[in-house]
Structure 1
Amino acid sequence: MKRSALVLVVAPLLCTSAIAKEPEYETAPAAVAGACPPPGWQENLGNFQKPNAAFPTQDTASVPTPDCNFHEWSFEAYVWATALDANGTPRFLTLPTPDDLLSTNAKAAEIGPRTLKLAARSLMPHGTAGYTEGAGAIVEADGNVLVGPNGYPILASVHMNQSYFATAKKNLIVTNGYATQPQNSSFETGAAVFKATWLRLAPGQKPPAGAYVTEAEVPVLTVLRTKTSIAILPVAGQFVKAQVALVGLHVVGSTVNHPEFLWATFEHKLNAPAVADNTFAPSPTAKNPNAFTFYAANTPFSTVNSANVPPALTFDLRSQRFAPVNNVVLENRTGGENQTGGQANVLSVNASGQTFLAGEPNPQSIFANYNLGGTVWMAPNSYNLNSDQTNAVGSVNLANTTAETFFQQARNQPMSNVQNCFTCHNPTSYSFQQSPPPLANRLIALSHVLAYGSPYAVPNLITGRVTSNLR
């Protein structure tokens, strides 16, 4: 059968035991006076790995200079999420997903083994023919696709703890909960949600050194076309099994005095070059000599972090692969941290936490191969119906190269130009819609999980137009 190549316009087995060798990065700022993290913090991390450990919720508002404490929380939450059970499964993969959120099964919220189904979010509303739901997406929040080194799109999954699950279920848009629940509804302290990004491996392909690998059901993609346009999207209910490597993990939780949630991100050490905060320049002479998973050695920085545009982006229906591959750079190694000593604090907490994990028995030790990229939050108890990314504190330009690839902002000043988690996750998440109709601002609207199964969900497809060389 002849292969079909489509040209698009993108719309606005085992865990390896080796600890990955980290390529050299740009020089990090020197640590400031004072202990960050303080003595004994590293030794306490093991408590968060216990089977019945509570998700961390410590009050970071009571400390005069709390910056370090927020990043400590991030690593504690990461250790909690990645703690392996008796079957060798990270805790976050035993948590409910959006598929469970919309299930009628009374046991859907239970913690335990479940199939990892990736990127099956439906175009059809809940309860209609052709509806299917899953744990994530084939596109990033801005509608663009990150093409991995083997041509497969980077896939995403979403997982939530039971506290988050219970509140989200009460406030779902598709069941009218968003409109009927009290206007001041919010998530409880201790609610947590995790977004993972995955590199699909081809048969026999080696994963990035030191990455966590598991089996997943990945979607079969198809093409819908008219005379002038095309769309690539998952086929409802059709999956194939494949090995996937964890390349990124957002760790998000509600703590005392912080109903806006603390937002942190981790990514595999070998993902991409990481540039010191506020120094990235898209210059043809700027480059890194090392090869990374998502960066070919010596690629000019002037060509990185760019979404594919026509006639570049193609899709082969038979192989299920895209071209060309994206080259990626992390523009702010610590997320544009804007607090005194903040950049050094991120790096110090990261180094201390990784040292703890590297000392754990294999395979738990592989999670030492992921870097903390930073944490972003707001002033204590300041979150309100007008809050947005300009109210952010800490890593105000926080991004992950596998989840916000094309949405990075190189400078953290002026604040009116910053881009971070609160750019999209805020009380106005559903109020700017034109079709379907806008919904009222609500504090709880910072959760995009509430939109699953409804027309308000971010479309899980790649759209484009037919070009002259389409066959």
Structure 2
Amino acid sequence: MELKFKKLMLLSITTATLLGLTSCKKEPYSTTKTSLASIFEDYNKNNEIKNTVDTIVLNNDQMFVDWSWQKFLWLTSNTEDNVPVFMKELKQVNDFGEEIKLDPLKKKGLPSSYIKDGKLPLILDLYQQADGTKLSSKSNSLVRYSIHANDGILEMFNSADASSIISQAAEILKNDSLKRSIRESKNQYPVGATEIKIAWIETSQVVDSTKTFNITAIVNQPNENFYENYNNAELKRMSMIGFHIFTVTAEHPEGVWSTFDQRDLAPDRTSFHGDPVNSKSDKYTLFDGNAVGNTEDGIIQDKTTLTPKVKNKVFQSNPEGVRYNQASQGMVVIKEDEEFATMIKSSNELAKKALTNDKVKIWANYKFVGSIWSKTNAPINELLDGDLSKPYGTGNGQSFGSLNLANITMETTFQTGGMNCFTCHSMNNNLYRTSTSKKINVKSPLISSHLFEKYAELKAALLASQGAAKIDIHKELNIDKRKPSNNIDEINLLKNSIRESSREEARELLKK
């Protein structure tokens, strides 16, 4: 019996479905027939990989490791059109969940010479992390970000709960006497709903471009109004250096949050005493061992420059995203996390050995950093009222997996104090976060996505200024149909205000 159980622990997910909405039929993990090794081997042999079956209930650590690798490899795999799945099956969106489309960009000055066959290439204009941190290479080339989501995420912006949240928020903004809290849990993101964020840097800045996935992208220049001006955009060769995944799976409405990094970005922490990194190597994209300054400051934000206090000293503070005994010498994983840390390390070594085919070996140069999730089939009220960022069994903590998970390309400064994905992506969040007079607490499965969070803030503010009965909150912004005061410049000012409010809240979290 023990042997059979161990074999079941190694089983993985191989049957395919579309990434979009899927049947909610539950399938036991035991129906799958292959291990993670077989997933790698099949991909290496056939140059094809199937999507994960998100209707399968993930309920042990190894399943989450296997699922994470398969989802990452599928999203990055090539389609028949010779573009990666994440560019074909998902929509590229801005940070308000608005799809990035060709015609609006042309009106904003995008050179037509950048468009081939009428297809919009990857657009890179985002360059700030959650707290506003700007990360750059040794030659000061900014790290850029793209966001992609499928209809499982985006269609929920039109759900009954979304409408209710936005309408209630608008009424609260107009009436200070109303209770400043909203609770809606009838609608959840459907199984298969997926949102990803990818970090990119100029290919000329990586230490070895033969070990990175490279693509030609339209890169906009950062300035005060760069979201609305593409006259100075450039075509550049960009390299993928970080990949963050959020997908809702069966009995996990909070989603599974998994993250990957390119292997040559930065070293891992080697000690919690003295210098955190003993490497003096310059063979990293984001770390220079000979750079002057305290290494610990390489992952702490300078509030004036909005860059790390010491540049080119980025490091992974909590390898595998697990917890360490900081009182010990060296890096000693706490007992509760030892097995999961070993699973992650083993999966990364297996990927290096198995992915050798010329068409897929590039992905052997990426590593699985970790994954975090909550209790399987947890009552929705527990997820709304509990603390998703804390380990299950600790107070009202709800989570399992990599409890100190962070992606160093996107969450560089969020690597201290037991922070993880759920620190910011919980089902209990605030709108208009940094304004004491306007702050509105929202408890809803929808609010775990920052895309919906910003979308709701924007729509509610517009409703409050015009009257809820005078505007369809789901229609795209059409200036001709609105009051003259709501011109495009004012809407962009509102968006920028929401962005800065979000960054201020993130900086406040780092102080705790």
CA 1:335–1:234: 2 relative to 1, 3 Å: same
Q: How does 1:354-365 map to 2 (within 5 A)?
A: 354-356=352-354, 358-362=355-359, 364-365=360-361
Q: How does 1:169-184 map to 2 (within 5 A)?
A: 169-170=158-159, 178-179=166-167, 183-184=185-186
Q: Distance in 2 between matches of 1:217 and 1:389?
A: 36
Q: 2:414 aligns with which of 407, 415, 429?
A: 407
* Per-residue deviation, 1:59: 1.1
Q: 2:91 aligns with which of 96, 100, 103?
A: 96
Deviates more, 1:246-255 or 1:282-291: 282-291
Q: How does 1:169-248 map to 2 (within 5 A)?
A: 169-170=158-159, 178-179=166-167, 183-201=185-203, 208-223=209-224, 234=226, 236-238=228-230, 239-248=233-242
Contact 2:213-2:240 at 8 Å conserved across structures:
yes
Structure 2 residue 65 is the aligned partner of structure 1 residue 67 = no
Deviates more, 1:163-172 or 1:445-454: 163-172
1:261 corresponding residue in structure 2 = 255
The letter for the 2-side match of 1:91 is V
SS at match of 2:410: coil
Structure ranking higher on relative contact order (CA contacts 8 Å, 6+ apart): 1
Unaligned runs of 5+ in 2: 12-33, 105-117, 169-182, 324-335, 391-397, 459-494, 505-512
1:333 corresponding residue in structure 2 = 319
* Per-residue deviation, 1:443: 2.0
Contact 2:133-2:301 at 8 Å conserved across structures:
yes
The letter for the 1-side match of 2:127 is I
CA 1:44–1:260: 2 relative to 1, 3 Å: same
CA 1:441–1:247: 2 relative to 1, 3 Å: same
2:121 corresponding residue in structure 1 = 115
1:384 corresponding residue in structure 2 = 383
1:12 corresponding residue in structure 2 = none
2:115 corresponding residue in structure 1 = none
Q: How does 1:41-190 map to 2 (within 5 A)?
A: 41-45=36-40, 46=42, 50=48, 53=51, 56-61=54-59, 66-94=60-88, 95-99=90-94, 101-102=97-98, 114-119=120-125, 137-170=126-159, 178-179=166-167, 183-190=185-192
* Per-residue deviation, 1:376: 0.6
Give 1 or 2 for the bigger CA radius of gyration.
Answer: 2
CA 1:342–1:182: 2 relative to 1, 3 Å: closer
The letter for the 1-side match of 2:499 is V
Structure 2 residue 458 is the aligned partner of structure 1 residue 451 = no
* Per-residue deviation, 1:379: 1.1
* Per-residue deviation, 1:55: 5.2
Contact 1:163-1:188 at 8 Å conserved across structures:
yes
Q: Distance in 1 between matches of 2:194 and 2:502?
A: 27
Q: Distance in 2 between matches of 1:461 and 1:207?
A: 35
TM-score, with length taken from structure 1: 0.69
Deviations 1:388-415 (A, max 9, x none): 3112211000011101111102xxxxxx
Q: 1:288 aligns with which of 245, 261, 279?
A: 279
SS at match of 1:389: strand
Deviates more, 1:249-258 or 1:284-293: 284-293
SS at match of 2:255: strand
* Per-residue deviation, 1:272: 0.5
The letter for the 2-side match of 1:290 is S
Q: 2:268 aligns with which of 268, 274, 281?
A: 274
SS at match of 2:39: helix
* Per-residue deviation, 1:273: 0.4
TM-score, with length taken from structure 2: 0.64
Unaligned runs of 5+ in 1: 1-32, 120-136, 224-232, 315-321, 410-416, 464-471
Count, aligned residues: 376
Provide the aligned C-alpha RMSD in A: 3.8
2:363 corresponding residue in structure 1 = 367
